[in-house]
Amino acid sequence: MEKPRLFISRELFPEVIEELKKFYEVEVWDKYHGPSYEYLVEKLRSVDAYVSMVTDRIDCGLLQMAGRLRIIAQYGVGLDNIDVVCATRLGIYVTNTPNVLAESVAELTWSLILAVSRRIVEADHFVRWGEWYRTRTSVHPLMMLGTELKGKTLGIIGLGSVGRRVAEIGKAFGMRVIYYSRNRKPDVESSLGIEYRSFDDVVSEADVLTIHISLTPETRHLINEDTLRRMRKNAILINTSRGPVVDTDALIKALREGWIAGAGLDVFENEPLQPNHPLTAFKNVVLLPHLGSATHEARLAMARLVAENLIAFYKGQVPPTLVNSEVVKHRRPGF
Ligand code: 8YV
């Protein structure tokens, strides 16, 4: 029997590809940058299964042309690039990779919090480019002072698996932790010793404000000029969720005019960030190239979960991290 065809839109771990080859006829896009939208439109007409990346735009127009596609296994947790409602209507399964990347994203969030509050990148440049040497002094009482975290308030927007782990680490730093989330989570509040507040209170009370929500039409530019003006002047903003949750122009204005003290950003409205972007001019901003889940552990676990989903689907089972469970009622016929 002919194997179903699987298109993988970026190189994955070889052992995972080998495993998938037992069930599928696998084709991997092997270039560093992803396939164009036009390429995907053509390619998806002829495949049964597809491993997508968060940077692939999968809209309804594309899905309607993908006549034999039955499952999209997203290599990532965020689904803002996929029209899931349309996929469900068309009987296409959609899976993602929740939980397995929470630890890595939380640790990266903390890397940014520490890097901004202790000026790590600025200090590295100070040493690397000889400025320290030119001062002719090893230590000066007022050199490169940062901010201590103990006793400060950590404000978390979104208490999913990442937000929760960020909260836990915040408590270990001796911070007061407050959060806002669509659904209040009293059990987490009591187990971690954190407090629920309104969105406005979290924004205005936080010394460190960190965002852990998905991108939806409602959360686009949630952090805007109005929000930034209500933050404390000593506060730092951290974003490891999705770039468009923060209005970049408003953030640049806030940094220029000193409404906040700094920012740590792993995600941007337009990725990759262009060289000489206005954000690159600020010493009190640390910029990373969307590295949240970029650890050996998380990326391998994500790839394995993608494979588990595809293999379960192949066997006619419900994939373990199916997003659109309603689709089960009208699965497209096929393998
Ligand atoms: C990417 C992410 O998936 O999971 C997400 O939503 O943004 C990241 O983990 C990862 O960079 C691979 O594309």
Report the residue among 290, 291, 295 best suited for mutation to probe ligand 1: largest number of ligand atoms under 8 A from its CB. Answer: 290
Cβ 242 under 6 angstroms from ligand 1: no
Which of 119, 164, 176, 242 is catalytic? The answer is 242
Q: Which domains does the chain have, with CATH numbers?
A: 5-99+296-330 (3.40.50.720), 102-287 (3.40.50.720)
Cβ 292 under 6 angstroms from ligand 1: yes
Q: Which two tokens stand for residue 272?
A: 């990759």
Range from 66-75, 108-117, 322-331 carrying the lowest mean pLDDT: 322-331
Q: What is the pLDDT, as a whole number, of residue 15?
A: 97
Report pLDDT digits (tens) over 132-185.
999 999 999 999 999 999 999 999 999 999 999 999 999 999 999 999 999 999
- Answer yes or no: 242 catalytic: yes
| Buried b or exposed e, range 3-13, using 16+ CB within 10 angstroms | ebbbbbbbebe
ipTM score of complex = 0.94
Supply the residue whose CA is at minimum distance from atom 2 of ligand 1: 76
Q: Report how far residue 169's alpha carbon sits from residue 172's, in angstroms, rounded to the nearest whole number.
A: 5
Atom of ligand 1 at shortest distance to CA of 291?
11
Place of tokens 């000026």: 119
Q: Report how far residue 44's alpha carbon sits from residue 68's, in angstroms, rounded to the nearest whole number.
A: 8
In the beta sheet, which residues pair with residue 27?
7
Cβ 10 under 6 angstroms from ligand 1: no
Whether pLDDT at 333 is above 80: no
Atom of ligand 1 at shortest distance to CA of 78?
6
Q: For residue 176, how many other CB atoms are within 10 A of its CB?
A: 18
| Buried b or exposed e, range 188-225, using 16+ CB within 10 angstroms | bbeebebebbeeeebbbbbbbbbbbbebeeebebbbbe
Percent of the chain with pLDDT over 70: 100
Whether pLDDT at 62 is above 80: yes
Please report which confidence band the pLDDT of residue 331 belongs to, taking 50, 70 and 90 as the band edges: confident
Q: What average pLDDT does the chain have? A: 97
Q: Report how far residue 107's alpha carbon sits from residue 298's, in angstroms, rounded to the nearest whole number.
A: 11
Handedness of CA 293, 297, 298, 302 (dihedral sign): positive
Cβ 262 under 6 angstroms from ligand 1: no
- Answer yes or no: 269 catalytic: no
Q: What is the pLDDT, as a whole number, of residue 139?
A: 92
Q: How far is the CA of 134 from the centre of ligand 1 (A)?
A: 42
Residues 171, 177: contact at Cβ < 8 Å?
A: yes
Report pLDDT digits (tens) over 247-259.
999 999 999 999 9
Cβ 77 under 6 angstroms from ligand 1: yes
Q: What is the pLDDT, as a whole number, of residue 248?
A: 98
Report pLDDT digits (tens) over 243-302.
999 999 999 999 999 999 999 999 999 999 999 999 999 999 999 999 999 999 999 999
Q: For residue 280, how many other CB atoms are within 10 A of its CB?
A: 11
Q: Report how far residue 163's alpha carbon sits from residue 113's, in angstroms, rounded to the nearest whole number.
A: 14
Cβ 264 under 6 angstroms from ligand 1: no
Whether pLDDT at 330 is above 90: no
Pairing state between β 5-8 and 25-28 = parallel
Supply the residue whose CA is at minimum distance from atom 5 of ligand 1: 76
- Answer yes or no: 271 catalytic: yes
Residues 183, 208: contact at Cβ < 8 Å?
A: no
Over residues 232-241, mean pLDDT: 98
Angle of helix 102-117 versus helix 161-172 axis, rounded to 10: 50
Strand runs (DSSP E) across 53-160, as ranges? Answer: 71-74, 93-95, 153-157
> Which pTM does this prediction carry?
0.96
Whether pLDDT at 335 is above 80: no
C-alpha angle with apex 22: 18 to 26, nearest 5 degrees?
65
Cβ 53 under 6 angstroms from ligand 1: yes
Q: What is the pLDDT, as a whole number, of residue 44?
A: 97
Which of 257, 271, 297, 326 is catalytic? The answer is 271
End-to-end C-alpha distance for the chain, whole angstroms:
10
What contacts 94, CB < 8 A, 6 or more positions away?
A: 71, 72, 74, 79, 82, 84, 87, 88, 322, 323, 324, 327
Whether pLDDT at 334 is above 90: no
Q: Report how far residue 312's alpha carbon sits from residue 70's, in angstroms, rounded to the nearest whole number.
A: 13
